[in-house]
């Protein structure tokens, strides 16, 4: 399988790439900004391709298509995992900070999916997965300081439903995993001192299982993956 994973330099994305690459039948394209970590990640694996770049940049989105085309005729799985958080009182969030959160969490998955369409679906199904957050689920508990982040994750969930409907005729399934607390750097920013019930490896394991089989059972679904609050 050919799989694209964004946000691959640390946390959940890093674990997703390592676990997927353990299967020699997979080729994984790992994308994130940190060049150093990506190069480290590549060591010892024949089947990890890396691209260091900002996924909000149109040229990086294009490069992901070019690299994918060079190595595969078809993208089987696309995991929009990269995420950006800002924790700040509502009245202190600047327009620039708000834009960055939406650029990474909403605009990039939108535009990257658009860019990669030529390599998705048709005779073989593609499963696109967006990684949202419990905070982005309507009716879930909300927390002060996360208005930009949680609202962007709600937009991502909504986008998932729209894309699933519009792309189903192209043989592309799109689902959203709205995950709860996982012990990563990002959780430390959102809830300092909080001990999550899962580590990145465990969540990556679940996401991969879902990526491999979930499209047979779900399309356009927003699935909460959480046993605690937060």
The residues annotated with a catalytic role in the active site are 149, 153
Cβ contacts of 223 within 8 Å, gap of 6 or more: 175, 176, 177, 178, 210
Candidates 2-10, 62-70, 166-174, 208-216; binding stretch for ligand NAP (CB under 6 A): 2-10
Contact flag: residue 56 with ligand NAP (CB under 6 A): yes
Helical H runs in 168-214? Answer: 185-190, 200-213
Q: Which is nearer to ligand NAP, 14 or 121 (CB)?
A: 14
| Residues forming beta bridges with residue 4, ordered by sequence position | 29, 78
d(CA 32, CA 19): 17
Contact flag: residue 34 with ligand NAP (CB under 6 A): yes
Please tell me whether residue 129 adopts helix, strand or coil conformation. strand
One of 68, 81, 150, 151 touching ligand NAP (CB under 6 A): 81
Contact flag: residue 152 with ligand NAP (CB under 6 A): no
126-133/2-6 β-pairing? unpaired
One of 50, 79, 83, 121 touching ligand NAP (CB under 6 A): 83
CB of 72 to ligand NAP, least distance (A): 21
Contact 5, 16 (CB under 8 A): yes
Q: Which residues are at the interface with ligand NAP (CB under 6 A)?
A: 6-13, 32-34, 54-56, 81-84, 104, 131, 133, 179, 181-182, 184-187, 196, 200
């Amino acid at each position: 399988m050919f799989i694209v994973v964004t946000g691959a330099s640390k946390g959940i994305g890093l674990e997703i790439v390592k676990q997927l690459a353990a299967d020699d039948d997979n080729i994984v394209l790992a994308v994130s900004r940190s060049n150093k970590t990506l190069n480290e990640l590549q060591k010892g694996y024949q089947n990890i391709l890396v691209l260091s770049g900002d996924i909000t940049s149109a040229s990086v989105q294009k490069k992901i298509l070019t690299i994918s085309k060079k190595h595969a005729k078809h993208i089987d799985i696309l995991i929009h995992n990269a995420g950006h958080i800002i924790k700040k009182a509502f009245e202190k969030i600047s327009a620039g900070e708000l834009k960055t959160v939406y650029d990474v969490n909403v605009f990039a998955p939108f535009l990257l999916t658009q860019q990669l369409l030529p390599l998705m679906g048709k005779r073989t199904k593609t499963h696109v997965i967006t990684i949202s957050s419990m905070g982005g689920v309507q009716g879930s508990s909300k927390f002060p300081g996360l208005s930009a982040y949680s609202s962007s994750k709600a937009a991502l969930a909504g986008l998932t439903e729209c894309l699933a409907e519009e792309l189903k005729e192209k043989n592309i399934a799109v689902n959203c995993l709205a995950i709860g607390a996982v012990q990563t750097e990002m959780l430390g920013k959102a809830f300092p001192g909080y001990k999550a019930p899962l580590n990145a490896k465990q969540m990556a394991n679940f996401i991969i299982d879902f990526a491999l089989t979930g499209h047979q059972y779900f399309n356009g679904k927003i699935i909460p993956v959480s046993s605690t609050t937060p």
